[in-house]
Structure 1
Amino acid sequence: MIFGNRIKELREDAKLLQRQVAARLELDTPLLSKIERGERRARHEHVAALAKIFNVDEKELITLWLADQVLELVKDQVEAENALSIASKELKNSKK
């Protein structure tokens, strides 16, 4: 829901209605509402479009979008924190 909260914040700061943003994304308004509430995931191409709509760094939104996906995957796992720590180390090592 990190991503959805950020989108709602950006939309409200821009003084745009959900239906206005949804129209630019070629989505229906209820779907955008569900994305903002964290009930549905945005598609990758919507993330890029939202960055353009709100004139923010696409990398910021991609990062939040990915974080939500990771959290959804591990949220009910007891060892999630340890697994994320190991995965983080592996990501750092793979960039060397």
Structure 2
Amino acid sequence: MMLIVTGYMHTDPTEVPQFLAELKVLAIVTRQRPGNISYDAALDNPETGRLLITERWADQEALSAHLDAEETKAFVARWQGRMRGDVRKFDASNERGLLD
């Protein structure tokens, strides 16, 4: 069953450029991982340092492998205490086109 991970991450507005640069590096690696369907972030509000996060994974095994990967752990360790988030995971069992 496909999983959708989405929500907001927050960091100090002065750190947004560095956060985005490091996240871009992580995204390049993550998009190559087995079971990754998409992995994206967008700057939602530069004044508050809020970013929209959206990911799609083929299954929990793929997501767990990503969360356990060295690059992911290193990113989280570097930003621990400098980022906070409200990111949730959803099961997607009835995927269809937008107009279907």
- Please classify the TM superposition score into its range, dividing by the shorter chain length: 0.3 to 0.5
- Structure richer in strand, relative to its length: 2
Task: Report the structure number with the largest CA radius of gyration.
Answer: 1
- Structure richer in helix, relative to its length: 1
Q: Which has the higher contact order (CA 8 A, sep 6+)?
A: 2
